[in-house]
Structure formats: structure tokens, C-alpha cells
Amino acid sequence: MRFINTKTLIFTEGAVEKYQNQYAILSHTWKDEEELTYQDFLNLDKAQLLRSIDAQTLGLGLEKILKSCAIARSKDIQYLWVDTCCIDKRDKAELDESLNSMFNWYKQAKVCYAFLSDVERSAKDREFAFEHSRWFTRGWTLQELLAPTHLVFLDRSWNEIGTKETFKGQISSATYIKENHLFGNFQSACIATKMSWAAKRETRRPEDIAYCLLGIFGVNMPIQYGEGQNAFIRLQKVLLTETPDESIFSWTKEGIKSHGLLASSPDYFESSRAVTIKPKRCKPRPPYRLTNQGLEWPFPNFFLDVQHGADWNNLVAMSRKHITITLNSWQTEQSKENHGLMKHLGLEKYKNTITIHLRKSKNGQWQRVDCDKEYHSMHVESSGNPLTGTNIKYIYITL
């Protein structure tokens, strides 16, 4: 990890563990044409910069670095990390390590300064302006909100306007993240809920909407700029191998009737903020696995028209061309459709379970359909007779 010495402006390198709780870290929104790269900052005359009186005349990119150094120095913090100039992005190995480690770097910092370039402390409705800052719309700032133990907000004039603690209500309102998840407890949230926090956030490059979530999910994967939307699909495949949390399938998208099992973007999870999982109420499903034919989904031995005594997450409505499967996830809000079915089956306490609907394609694979519906009730389509007593052990679902 590469730091800026706040007194000399010279780079210092070392393992993050050696400098834990000894450095400040900057969170900000980028303005591409003004940001300084590693090479730019390396070539600057540091002695002249230390003599500079008005940092604003040097451009916003350099101003952010110098102002952050000055604030950290005033708090007796010797080192600063800034994402624009402390990573040599020409070095792919360094870039890979940095993006996979960045969440931990924000977590290990003594303090994180979040610079809000569009918020002014003297504004009449400061709280309104705070909630509508561009900082809350960017992908990378999500981890920069969740990871730090101590997060301080600075306005456009570099005045301290509050902390994550003092602004927790406004932050929760702006981000839809519950207050208890803002302070180190967010790992208890399910995949769908975490994805919903990233919905509608933007990144400079399409791949970054996946890479900025690595630390939040506690996973690593190679960085491959140029892969576009596939980065988000790749992230979900990694999650499939790491956890039995089936809320990863609990997404909807208006206007889409059929789709692969995995979402194309965090935006698909926008309506999944109320989703949760309760593993203790679930009998573990046999593991599924990724294949060249899609996701091999283990098939339960229970059908609605055969018996009513199995565990809820083995409930399946099936015909020759359609399947509806329950997931091990719940919506905390009432679902009238599922309520009626579960009451009929004597499983009313599971009325908020989430289901997905699949249709068999011509190549024999199954594809998710009715993706534009909020959640789906159990039903067997009239097309084809129910497959009672069938001996299917698994199906392949298009990803």
C-alpha cells in the first residue's frame, strides 16, 4: 500500500497492517479531467507545493490532496491515502490488488474524510443538500460509507459538517440502508439487500459496478477491464460458490418477461430492500453447481399435488413446461399472493416466501420468466399435465 506523508508529500510504501489506524483516507467523487494520477503526483515539486498559499489555484485534483493532507496533519495523522494518485494504474498486478483490498484499506484507516464538493455548510437547507449530494449516487462510495469506523463529512469549503453517526438518519434516508447496517453490522444483510444498496448507483466504467462490491460481499476476483456487464455476472457466480443465500435470485425488472437466472445489474434488486433469509427455518438444499449448460439445480422430491408434509423450501409447482420454486428467502412485507397458497397448505407462517417461475426452452434448459412481477405465487400452468411421481433429480437453468 502506498501512502502520502502528510508533512513531506513524499510517497511511503508498506503493508496496511503496519500502518493500521495510523493513516487518513479520502472519499470523494471524481472529476476525470482534473484528477492527478500516480505519475502526475510523483513528478510534482513537493517543496513548492508545501509553500503554496492557495491550493485552489492548483486545480481541484491537487487541491483535494493538499487539503486532505493539511486536515490530517492538523490531527497529528502522518499518512494519507487517496485513490487517484496512490495506485499506479499502469501496473495491472497493483491495480488488481488495490481493487480487491480497497474495502479493507478504508476499514483499517483511523479516519475517512468524505469530501462533498456539492454541499455547502452555509446553505439554508443543509440537511436537504447533504442527502442529495452526488456522493450518494456513486458506486465506489458505497463501500467508503460502510467500511470506515470513523467517517467525517467535509463540505465544498473543507469545513467539517458532521459524521456518519450524526448524519445517520439522513444517510439511511438517502441510501435506504438501515441505521444498524451503517455501523459494522451490514454483513448480516442478505445478498439481495446488499445489492439493493447499489441499485441506481453509477460508475465511470461498467465493470466497476461489480468491482466496487467485492469488499461488501467479502470476496475476491480478478480484475478484467473490457469485459463490461459480464463483470457483474462473474461476481454473482463467485457468490454462488460462497454461500447458500438464494436471495441472489430475488430480483425483478420491469419490462423483462424472460431472462437468465442471474441479474444483469444491481438495478434489478431495487425492489429487494425488504428481502431477508432465515437459515434456521430452512432445511439445507443440496448444493447446486455451475456447468457449461447453466446452473445445475438440485430438484426436491416434493410436488404440490403429491403431498403437503415437506419442508417449505422443497415446495415446487411443476408441469412439463413450467416450474415454480420457492427460495430460502423472505420478504418482510406482506405478499397477498403467497399468503393464500401457504394458508391453503397449512404453512401460513411461510406466507412471505419468495418464488421464481421457470419455463422449459426448446434446447431443454430452463429459463426464468415473469421477471417483471414483484414476487410470484405458486401455480401449475395449464399447459401440460403435472409431473406427479417424476424421478427428476436436477434441472439446468440458463444463467
Written as one string, the DSSP assignment of 66-80 is: HHHHHHHHHTT--EE
Task: Give the Cα-Cα-Cα angle 54, 140, 371 (nearest 5 degrees).
Answer: 150
C-beta neighbour count of 123 within 10 angstroms: 13
Query: Is the Cα dihedral 198, 202, 203, 207 positive or negative?
Result: positive
332 burial (CB, 10 Å; 0-12 / 13-18 / 19+) is exposed
Q: How far apart are CA 321 and CA 396, in angstroms?
A: 13
Running DSSP on this structure, what letter comes out for residue 138? Answer: B
Please name every residue paired with 152 in a beta bridge, in sequence order, or none if there are none: 113, 163
The pLDDT value recorded for residue 341 is 46
The pLDDT value recorded for residue 63 is 92
Here the cell at position 293 is: 449448460
Q: How far apart are CA 381 and CA 51, in angstroms?
A: 76
Residue ranges of the chain with per-residue pLDDT less than 50? 301-312, 335-342, 344-347, 376-390
The pLDDT value recorded for residue 221 is 96
Here the cell at position 89 is: 494504474
The pLDDT value recorded for residue 222 is 96
The pLDDT value recorded for residue 99 is 97
Running DSSP on this structure, what letter comes out for residue 182? Answer: G
Which of 240, 348, 238 lies closest to 295, judged by CA? 240
Please name every residue paired with 291 in a beta bridge, in sequence order, or none if there are none: 294
Instruction: Write down the pTM of the prediction.
Output: 0.87
The pLDDT value recorded for residue 385 is 40
Continuous segment of H or E residues that includes residue 358 = strand 353-360
Secondary structure (H, E, C), 159-183: CEEEECCCCHHHHHHHHCCCHHHHC
Q: Which residues contact 122 (CB under 8 A, 6 or more apart)?
A: none
